[in-house]
Amino acid sequence: MRVVFMGTPDFSVPVLDALVEAGHEIAAVYCQPPRPAGRGKKDRPTPVHARSEALGLEVRHPVSLKSPEEQTAFADLNADVAVVVAYGLLLPQPILDAPTHGCLNIHASLLPRWRGAAPIHRAIMAGDAQTGICIMQMEAGLDTGPVLLRQATDIEPQETTAQLHDRLAPMGARLIVEALNRLPDLTPEPQPEDGVTYASKIDKAEAKIDWTRPAIEVDRLIRGLSPFPGAWTEIGDSRVKLLASKLAEGQGAPGEVLNDTLRVACGEGAIDLLRLQRAGKGAQDMETFLRGWPVAAGTRLSSE
């Protein structure tokens, strides 16, 4: 098929690779424009942009698709289908209508649960037992279109957003290749009205840990916000990101360190901190972190 690919972050790259490997013709790649990054704040191309150039594909990065000129340029590609995954721009109706088979979205949740911007984070933060990938026929509403294919996967008890992301990306790649191969025979399944939830964009204000909350909620927050923006607490006068954890037995005052290996009491129960990051430092496992900065039992962590 002649495909327009629309994606931006790391999550999208395996999908582009899978489409190329499957022999589809990539008419053009759309992604977000390069933006300042790093210490020098120089413009840095997105992961999809960089991969597309390495593959010798045409890259387009308009700031909007609302203008008649951009819509005409898109239509002139004469695509059979557009594949969209974490692109970052709303698609106006003329864009949705331009390809022969419309636009297919790879969404990292089991729709209608977790429509919106941060489905992987929200699934972990909510304590969902399962998530997955849906291949959806796009329409004007936010992730409201009918589903062509879906595949579920269990969320592991200690899994972080980064780890789940890395499992779902290749799953999405495999599923979209299957969908394109079977496209004429697939029946779009309308999403049910019941069970709709929205995965709103992560706000950095959510990252502050409230140690008075039950351990199960604190653990989900840590894993759901890892690696970005990273849930945080204060140890002494330093802000520390907490990037991995697990539930543990124990009780004490909220935020109290219960042993010499960073078991911390919550409002109910306790958690073990497994991976941490001090400001300006790299992420470290608990043992390495404590060798450089011992934290004694009885220390109180706070997020004031």
What pLDDT, in 10s, does the model give residues 135-178?
999 999 999 999 999 999 999 999 999 999 999 999 999 999 99
User: What percent of the chain shows pLDDT beyond 70?
Assistant: 100
- Best CA proximity match to 117, nearest among 91, 87, 94: 87
- Best CA proximity match to 176, nearest among 56, 10, 24, 9: 24
If residue 132 lies in a helix (H) or strand (E), which one and from where to where?
A: strand 130-137
Give the per-residue pLDDT at 41: 76
Contact 297, 258 (CB under 8 A): yes
Give the per-residue pLDDT at 230: 96
**What is the rounded average pLDDT of the residues 114-134?**
97
Q: Which distant-in-sequence residues (6+ apart) come within 8 Å of 109 by Cβ?
A: 115, 119, 120, 123, 131, 132, 134, 199
Residue 225 has pLDDT above 80, yes or no: yes
Residue 245 Cα distances to 47, 94, 183, 283, angstroms: 29, 46, 42, 13
DSSP-assigned states of every residue in 65-109: S-SHHHHHHHHTT--SEEEEES--S---HHHHHSSTT-EEEEESS
**Phi, psi at residue 132, to the nearest 5°?**
165, -160
Cα separation of 109 and 116, whole Å?
10
Give the per-residue pLDDT at 10: 94
Strands 284-285 and 59-60: unpaired
Neighbours of 41 (CB within 10 A): 9
If residue 246 lies in a helix (H) or strand (E), which one and from where to where?
A: strand 238-248
Retrieve residue 106's tokens.
């790879």
Q: What is the mean pLDDT of the chain?
A: 96
246-263: per-residue pLDDT in tens? 999 999 999 999 999 999
Give the per-residue pLDDT at 42: 82
Cα separation of 189 and 186, whole Å?
9
Cα separation of 257 and 202, whole Å?
28
Burial 119-147 (b: 16+ CB within 10 A, else e): bbbbbbbeebeebbbbbbbbbeeebebbb
Tokens 């780890």 -> residue? 163
45-89: per-residue pLDDT in tens? 999 999 999 999 999 999 999 999 999 999 999 999 999 999 999
Model confidence at 298, in pLDDT bands (50, 70, 90)?
very high
- Best CA proximity match to 103, nearest among 70, 149, 136, 59: 136
Give the per-residue pLDDT at 43: 87
Give the per-residue pLDDT at 250: 96
Model confidence at 39, in pLDDT bands (50, 70, 90)?
confident
